[in-house]
Amino acid sequence: MTRPMIAALVCLAWAGVAHAQSAPTPHAGPDYSKVTVKTTDLGHNTYMLEGAGGNVTVAVGGDGVIMVDGQFAPMHDKLKAAIAAISPLPIKYLVNTHHHGDHTGGNAAFAADGATVVAHVNVRNYLAAGTTSNTSGMKVPPVAQAGLPSKTYDGTTGPVLEVKGRKAILTHPEHAHTGGDTTVYFPDANVLSTGDTFVNGRYPNSDWLNGGNIRGMIAATDTYLALVNDDTKIVPGHGPLGNKTQLAAFNAMLKLARDRMVKLIKDGKSEDEIYAAKPYADLDGKYATNEQAAKNFMRVMYHSLKE
């Protein structure tokens, strides 16, 4: 990635349309005792970890580690062990890409280990206040002080985090997956960590009860496509490691789904009528993990574009 592209990422202003949405459906999670952490070497001392919850990015510098997302709370020990197998250096920073518990559950434990938890200020606000799930309507209780980010930023340009020899560039795409998203770019490794603004091979959730909107997600992925190149490794919020081709397919799917939903809404169709019409039947086989995921995506599209 060229220097102008890096500068653009640092300075870029993200477009989005605000409408509130909530956290994803809370659930008990898997049997964590049976979960194993898979580590993928992305080159230049940068790694992707897969376990239970959102994907984790790890960048190792000369005096410490930058970590992006911490999965569910019970994954702390396994993630810590996987990182220790990569490097004995301490985790200096843990970045939250957004507030959902499958990405922020490890905050308190990693902070107790000495990491500084970094996020957009809206993440701290959502966690401190508690939220409501946009997919189930269930209440997500407030997070204790120990689990809140201790270093926050406002606006679209975040801090540049540094460990010896490494930099992580943070930016905030407005009103995309949530109202508090952060994207992290490691320029020396050409690795982009998107959180749930991009999920690979599945439908996304756009949390309209907590600032998310499909329009903002499309704007964010438009921006990524203008910045990445064919060599960029893209760590999605969920799903396998991505590349520019897969990101372009995701972006095209969102635009197609948007256009279909806009037409149905203009035709005066109700939410129930849209469910019955199954406007995304041809996409479900590729992007829906189950029938509920297909229904949730229709609901996300409807509320993003109706309101």
- Residue 267, token pair as written in the block: 């035709």
Cα 237 off chain centre by: 4
Query: What confidence score (pLDDT) does residue 28 get?
Result: 53
| Token pair for 93 | 């920073």
CA-nearest of 102, 128, 108, 126 to 25 is 102
Q: Which residue has the tokens 């095209």?
A: 252
Q: Mind listing the pLDDT tens digit for each residue in 242-268?
A: 999 999 999 999 999 999 999 999 999
Q: Give the C-alpha separation, 57 to 40, whole Å.
A: 10
* Domain spanning 3-243: CATH 3.60.15.10: yes
Q: Residue ranges of the domains in the chain? A: 3-243
**Torsion-angle region of residue 87: left (phi > 0), alpha (psi -120 to 50) or beta?**
beta
Report the 10 Å Cβ neighbour count for 144: 11
Strand-pair category, 131-132 with 116-120: unpaired
Q: What are 243's strand-pairing partners?
A: none
The ranges of the chain with pLDDT < 70 are 1-29
> The whole model's pTM is what?
0.90
Using only C-alpha atoms, the chain has a radius of gyration, in whole angstroms, of 18
| pLDDT score of 29 | 59
